[in-house]
Structure 1
Amino acid sequence: MGRRFTASAADARAGRAVPAGPVTQDIHWTGELRSATGVALLLGTALFTMDAGFGKLDVARGALWTGLAALLLAILLPPRVSVRPGLLSARGLLVGHSVRTDSLVSVRWFDGVSQRLVLRDTEGNRVEIDPTVLVRNPGMWRRLDTDIRTSVQRGTLLCGASAFRQLAERVDRETAHTVFRVSGLR
């Protein structure tokens, strides 16, 4: 969490200078990874056990059940989100996306069953994350909040001031609820 990084290879190839700084990562990601792995293993084990109990387990069906469990893991695997000064990255199973948070053009918050926060920077990069990640990780939120304010000061943030305020209010509300819950006042 406190390690310093230089610009990534992709940033160096593109000629972008990303300031080095402490990296803050989602502290709940390993738990979500464990849960996704557990669900996939549970499904695979149940399918293998059921087939073996009926006497129908063979190599083809075993490969099918293994593939189905691996597909479920790929679907449930959460992206690994990290923030450092000037950069937010979301790394999925196969690909990762980064956005310059100190030169954002838009911040959009899509509310609904699956809430999404979509960030776009001046270079055309786009990252989509679950806003709950920021609510659960105050260090990530503080870093992103600072960088979004930098974008506002620079005049690059053209769209998203209301989404930013809504997210800030939600983070403040959740933080207050957590403080009350921990202190026994709620």
Structure 2
Amino acid sequence: MGRRTTSDTARNQAMPPQPVAYDITWPGEARSAVGYATLLFVLLTLVDQAADTLTDVRAALWLFLGVLLFTVLWPARVSAAPGLLLSRGLWRQSGVRTDRLVSVRWSNGVAQRLVLRDADGNRAEIDPRVLVANPSLWAVVDTDARTSIERGTLCCGETALRQIQARVDEETARTVFKVSGLD
């Protein structure tokens, strides 16, 4: 049996835990983003070609609009491991220590977002529908949030967590009724 060295311990502490729960709806949403962007480009090009007004500049404009729609629709890929929530978008990745949360709040804006902050100053924004659609993801986040509450680090956000829990419970009940034929 080998002895653990200081460098082994440091390496293990630097490595983030492996995700145990993923957003299972992400692949479908990613395909939709690609499909809608492609459909917009094709339709605009076909209409322009039918009107006999298609030029290279207009085709480039339609392509730009398709790419722009793609970047707007591309979903963040959310995963969680004990103590960690990661959100990966097209250009950035954010992560928070869910066992050291200091606040959980709803963002003000057009799209509903849940903003999580940890004691290290890290911040992650996620769509609450991701947690509702993925009970295993919610279970990891909820367990760690309860740890934050017990430790006293979570200053504000218990109401937001209860609201998410109510949504998850409602969606789970709806799924059970649907599967059992009681809906």
Normalised TM-score (structure 1): 0.86
Write the distance in 2 (CA, Å) between the matches of 1:17 and 1:102: 17
Query: CA contact under 8 A between 1:19 and 1:85: conserved in structure 2?
Result: no
Three-state SS of the structure 2 residue aligned to 1:156 is coil
**CA 1:92/1:19 → structure 2, altered by over 3 Å: closer, same or farther?**
closer
Of 50, 53, 56, 1:53 maps to: 50
**CA 1:18/1:171 → structure 2, altered by over 3 Å: closer, same or farther?**
farther
Q: Which residue of 1 aligns with 2:161?
A: 164
Q: Write the deviation string for residues 91-129 of structure 1: whole angstroms up to 9, x where unpaired.
A: 111111111101000011358863211100001111111
Three-state SS of the structure 2 residue aligned to 1:149 is helix
Write the distance in 2 (CA, Å) between the matches of 1:112 and 1:62: 33
Q: Which has the larger radius of gyration?
A: 2
Say which structure, 1 or 2, has more relative contact order (CA 8 Å, 6+ apart).
Answer: 2
Q: Which residue of 1 aligns with 2:120?
A: 123
Of 68, 73, 78, 1:76 maps to: 73
Aligned pair count reads: 172
Three-state SS of the structure 2 residue aligned to 1:64 is helix
Normalised TM-score (structure 2): 0.87
Three-state SS of the structure 1 residue aligned to 2:87 is strand
**CA 1:111/1:181 → structure 2, altered by over 3 Å: closer, same or farther?**
farther
Q: Which residue of 1 aligns with 2:96?
A: 99
Q: CA deviation at 1:17?
A: 4.7
Write the distance in 2 (CA, Å) between the matches of 1:62 and 1:68: 10
Query: CA contact under 8 A between 1:19 and 1:86: conserved in structure 2?
Result: no
Please state if 1:67 is matched with 2:64.
yes
Q: Write the deviation string for residues 61-95 of structure 1: whole angstroms up to 9, x where unpaired.
A: 11111111000110111111111111111111111
Three-state SS of the structure 2 residue aligned to 1:81 is strand
Structure 2 stretches of 5 or more lacking a match? 1-9
Write the distance in 2 (CA, Å) between the matches of 1:20 and 1:53: 55
**CA 1:19/1:155 → structure 2, altered by over 3 Å: closer, same or farther?**
farther
Please state if 1:184 is matched with 2:181.
yes
Q: Where in structure 1 do 4 or more consecutive aligned residues deviate above 3 Å?
A: 16-19, 110-113
Write the distance in 2 (CA, Å) between the matches of 1:117 and 1:132: 10
Write the distance in 2 (CA, Å) between the matches of 1:21 and 1:93: 21
Q: CA deviation at 1:24?
A: 1.4
Q: Write the deviation string for residues 12-50 of structure 1: whole angstroms up to 9, x where unpaired.
A: 9xxx75652443111011101111111111110011111
Question: Aligned runs of 1:12-51 on 2, under 5 Å?
Answer: 17=14, 20-51=17-48
| Root mean square deviation of aligned Cα | 1.8
* Counterpart residue type for residue 153 of structure 1: E
